[in-house]
Amino acid sequence: MEKENISKPNLENSTVSKISYEDIVPLRTFQEDVKNAIGENNLSTSKIMLAEHAKRDRVATAQNAMLSKMPANSTPQKQGNVKVKKQISRKLLITVISLILFVAGGAGIYYNIEYIKPYFENAKNSIQVQNINFIDPDQSVYIDTSTKNNTDILREIRSIISSNKVGKEGELLEVVLTKNVILETESGTKDTTDRINAEDFFAITNAIPPEALARSFDGQILLGLHKTKILEPFIIIKSEDLSQTYAGMLNWEFRLGTDMESIFYRTLTEVKPVVSTPEITNIATTSSTTESESPAGTSTSTEITTSEPAATAPLIESPTFNKNKFVDLVINNKDTRAVINSEGKILFFYSLIDNENVIMATNRETLGKVLERINNSKLIR
């Protein structure tokens, strides 16, 4: 085989810069370092060997110290496994705690929803139902009357009043009674929710106001609750003709207490007096009767013991009142017509508090609170 002619590169014409051998630093070796140390520092080879052995001993001692701190059955691989297990355990613990808190939070939310459901059954209507110009309530409780009969509605109202669970002391609450209505629009009919009017309210409570009085109302009515130590109910009705309303209220007095008893049942429900039964004591009286002769020829007498009542115990009577008998009374500088009992306690009253509103209530503090709230709402308007 013929050798290939390989031309040598022409270094003289090359663009690579020329390097001087003087610029190249010789490679350092261990032998050269030992030689220089012996020559310059006057060290012997034995000292160098001793120093190298001492260095190795120090390294070995450090490694042994690190191994002695590790557990007897521990190795770097085992330590890594332990760390991984600890991380997994920590993540598992955090996951379990998170699940417990999530379940507890869900249970709490469910309990609260179920707990207040009877009192805030139709809370979504708070957006749909239009406000009325009476007072600005602190809270509103909604009752949908569309699917309930009058008895169930009144039972629910009484349940809210008796439970005393809503509101804080001093607050005024509104019980919003709603119904479903169908509105006629240009595109057709539309189902919506609206407040009941005064006529609907009187039908629910089985109240029968005089016709002239009913015509004087403009239809707006508010059922409210004043939170003292208990929930005190009150009613505000808006009037269109104050003089006709006043005359109509006077004509309604003969049965007003009876008609409003379903709402103001705490004070207007008559409690029958408790009559104690006389005690029976054994006070004996004796009488003798003579019967026909017995076969033995002797007569017999029979002793009859009867009991007579001892001294009669006094009757326990409650304060008496007539729920349909009204008297003039001034409460919070307002002329009112009120029902009071034999002890002078106010059980129920009504008043024309301004040129457009009639209030019915049982507590004088309620009247003062409502007047304050109405005056404030007028200033805002």
Domain boundaries, the chain: 125-271+318-380
The Cα–Cα gap between 122 and 194 comes to 12
For the residues 299-313, what does the mean pLDDT come to?
Answer: 45
Burial class, 215, CB count within 10 angstroms (exposed 0-12 / middle 13-18 / buried 19+): middle
Using an 8 Å Cβ cutoff, are 186 and 200 in contact? Answer: no
Using an 8 Å Cβ cutoff, are 12 and 23 in contact? Answer: no
Using an 8 Å Cβ cutoff, are 310 and 319 in contact? Answer: no
Estimate to the nearest angstrom the gap between the alpha carbon of 84 and the chain centroid: 45
Residue 249, pLDDT score = 96
Kindly report whether the global pTM for this prediction surpasses the value 0.85.
Answer: no
Residue 284, pLDDT score = 43
Provide the percentage of residues in the chain whose pLDDT is more than 70: 63
Other CB atoms within 10 A of residue 195 CB: 20
pLDDT at position 74 over 60: no
pLDDT tens track for 196-207: 999 999 999 999
Q: How confident is the model at residue 292 (pLDDT cuts 50, 70, 90)?
A: very low
| Locus of tokens 């409502």 | 370
Residue 73, pLDDT score = 55
Residue 45, pLDDT score = 67
pLDDT at position 263 over 50: yes
pLDDT at position 331 over 50: yes
Dihedral of the alpha carbons of 31, 33, 35, 36, in degrees to the nearest 10: 160
Least confidently predicted of 181-190, 234-243, 291-300: 291-300
| Locus of tokens 């080879």 | 45
Residue 98, pLDDT score = 87
Q: Cβ neighbours of residue 252 under 8 Å, at least 6 residues apart? A: 209, 210, 213, 259
For the residues 44-58, what does the mean pLDDT come to?
Answer: 74
| Locus of tokens 């209030």 | 359
For the residues 286-313, what does the mean pLDDT come to?
Answer: 44
Q: Cβ neighbours of residue 119 under 8 Å, at least 6 residues apart? A: 141, 160, 163, 165, 166
For the residues 346-363, what does the mean pLDDT come to?
Answer: 94
| Mean pLDDT value across the chain | 77
